[in-house]
Structure 1
């Protein structure tokens, strides 16, 4: 239980740290991404070296997963230039879950009527964000975070058959180095660095990403897939609270309504078959 709570706090912490850094203009988005990923590489390498007593297999992981990881990280950072903490986390989480559900459909999985209702609710919550108004997020921020969510969803799906998630994750991070170098090459003239910004990026990469992922793997051993999916519904809520406390943001009515639709819809899909069976029994 402790590992689960710590992992959820780490996931939400990524949003808070990124928004805190970019809203305060203490670092640019490209530098934040580069330092975050590189810090993750260093921390995970140390973790694997300790775990394997120096016998690290660098042949694990994949270039496709590394690219998806980099794409997730860079779009995540640029999106948070214009999105509030809770808004960004809700879009990211909602898109990840919806993408994985749709991927299942394309692979032949069928949904019962109540699951379709849940999927439509989740979609409507995301679409509601785009309704013009004072609380609506910027279109560019929404688009970037949507792309980030899609990238993370496919990164997650690519790693489902992993026999050693920690080692594979470490090698995926390691393979982002060429992308990091290209990012630095094309953005070095626009780099904006400060000690505070660098520290926030290092914390995001090593603690809330590297350590957070390691803790999550430990937590998953005691959770069913359904429970793991359900408890992640709390991440956007934790992130929104973190945004209020640490970034002085406000929780808007639109965010609350959209959160209820998106998270509630996803919950219905996750629990759909059980709900459908209970309704069927009651009718009989």
Structure 2
């Protein structure tokens, strides 16, 4: 029962990032400033959580993982200038899964026919979702940015596969990511921010990202890859429901149909164990 509750809470935290970022950007906070505040808040919380066990901030691998994290954060925040919360989460989630699938092929890992069919169905659904018209509000530039964010998160997830101390490494990644944003301070300094946007960014970074990822790292080792993949299908669903209830972003018929096709394809691909790589969320 405890595992179920912790998993449900972790998935809600992951979905909350889409809602919080969308709300913060809609309120008038610059996406770059939002991302900078978010990663700094996440770094602070993760540093406290990992302090007792130590924090890893050195090594070429740390900089690579931090760079992938920054790519994700930038694309994610910028994309929510126009994308609805649920639509953005769906594009992100599908891209992460497809990105990990591509990485597994590059590494020549075995991909059974069920997985190939499932990913083909998911890709078809994603393409349909992004086609113009049909009442789907997907700005091409921001949709592309969310795809970039998904690829960044896939790379970050892949880097985590080789992380001997997940919590210490994640804290280090967020600290290095904060340093990278600080180095780019002249670019986003002076960008518009609102009080509500700052609060939402802190909650997104400190609670939804910091504690959410810590919870996820706690539950993932206790379940199989296939189970984790299927459970994460709930993330875009939760984000869509939250977007409709809290932001008034009700998805259209085509968005729901294409989204269902994406989720069905990913569910089919993750129905059985297939790879040693797993996704850690958004």
TM more than 0.5: yes
- CA displacement 1:200-237 (0-9 Å, x = unmatched): 00000000000000011111132111111110001000
Q: What is the Cα deviation at residue 163 of structure 1? A: 1.9
CA contact (8 A) 1:34 1:183 kept: no
Would the alpha carbon gap of residues 241 and 109 (structure 1) be closer, same or farther in structure 2, given more than 3 Å must change? same
| 1:68 corresponds to 2:68 | yes
Q: Distance in 1 between matches of 2:130 and 2:187?
A: 32
Structure 2 residue aligned with 1:36: 38
Greater Cα offset, 32-41 or 244-253: 244-253
Structure 2 residue aligned with 1:152: 153
Structure 1 residue aligned with 2:222: 222
Q: Distance in 2 between matches of 1:116 and 1:47?
A: 39
CA contact (8 A) 1:112 1:273 kept: no
Q: Distance in 2 between matches of 1:92 and 1:58?
A: 27
Q: What is the Cα deviation at residue 112 of structure 1? A: 3.0
| 1:20 corresponds to 2:20 | no
Q: Distance in 1 between matches of 2:63 and 2:273?
A: 36
Would the alpha carbon gap of residues 142 and 262 (structure 1) be closer, same or farther in structure 2, given more than 3 Å must change? same
TM norm structure 1: 0.90
RMSD of Structure 2 on Structure 1 (CA)? 1.6
CA contact (8 A) 2:97 2:266 kept: yes
Q: What is the Cα deviation at residue 58 of structure 1? A: 4.1
Would the alpha carbon gap of residues 273 and 15 (structure 1) be closer, same or farther in structure 2, given more than 3 Å must change? closer
CA contact (8 A) 2:83 2:137 kept: no
CA contact (8 A) 1:96 1:149 kept: yes
- CA displacement 1:158-215 (0-9 Å, x = unmatched): 11122210000000111113321233211223x1122111100000000000000001
TM norm structure 2: 0.91
CA contact (8 A) 1:10 1:208 kept: yes
SS at match of 2:123: helix
Would the alpha carbon gap of residues 79 and 57 (structure 1) be closer, same or farther in structure 2, given more than 3 Å must change? closer
Structure 2 residue aligned with 1:85: 85
Q: Distance in 1 between matches of 2:273 and 2:57?
A: 41
| 1:211 corresponds to 2:211 | yes
Q: Distance in 2 between matches of 1:150 and 1:57?
A: 24
Would the alpha carbon gap of residues 146 and 56 (structure 1) be closer, same or farther in structure 2, given more than 3 Å must change? closer
Q: What is the Cα deviation at residue 136 of structure 1? A: 4.2
Structure 2 residue aligned with 1:278: none
Q: Distance in 1 between matches of 2:55 and 2:26?
A: 38
Q: Distance in 1 between matches of 2:19 and 2:262?
A: 20
Greater Cα offset, 137-146 or 213-222: 213-222
